[in-house]
Amino acid sequence: MDRKLYGNIKDVEESYIRLYKPWLESTSVLFEKQLRHQATNSPEKYREFYNEWTKTFQGRLERISHVPNLETNKKALEKLLINAEKSTDICKSWATELEVNSKKTREILQGTPDPIKYKEAYDLWIKNHMPKYLTVC
């Protein structure tokens, strides 16, 4: 189960890198150019910078918003479906564990007060859920 979650996190990271890393890199280069052009206070340099900025922005926007062809749409939908099913499986397993832990905890709370059983229930929750939260965080 943790491998599935790791796979989903890896997919998100790869998508982020593909989409945003080039944009961030080009933006930082343009920002540096802007600082150099500001020092000159030249309208020509500003116009040159503005044109370059606009061209770069439009190029990045076209890459991000590019409408894929029908084949790519099918592949994208298949990958989306696979990832949705993986996420559903992960959530279902978490829900099952929550139900089991809740049932055991409810039984302990309905019985006679027993600090040792309370500690066992608490440890059960921590044992079952802490590794998941650590891998997500």
Q: Tell me the one-letter amino acid at 105.
A: T
> 45: how many CB neighbours lie within 10 A of its CB?
16
Q: pLDDT (tens digit, 9 = 90+) per residue, 37-62?
A: 666 767 777 777 778 877 777 776 66
Distance, in Å, from the CA atom of 56 to the CA atom of 124, rounded to the nearest integer, reads: 54
The ranges assigned to domains in the chain are 1-66, 70-137
**What's the pTM?**
0.40
Helix ranges, 41-69 (H): 43-64
Q: pLDDT (tens digit, 9 = 90+) per residue, 91-133?
A: 888 888 888 889 989 999 998 989 999 998 888 888 877 766 5
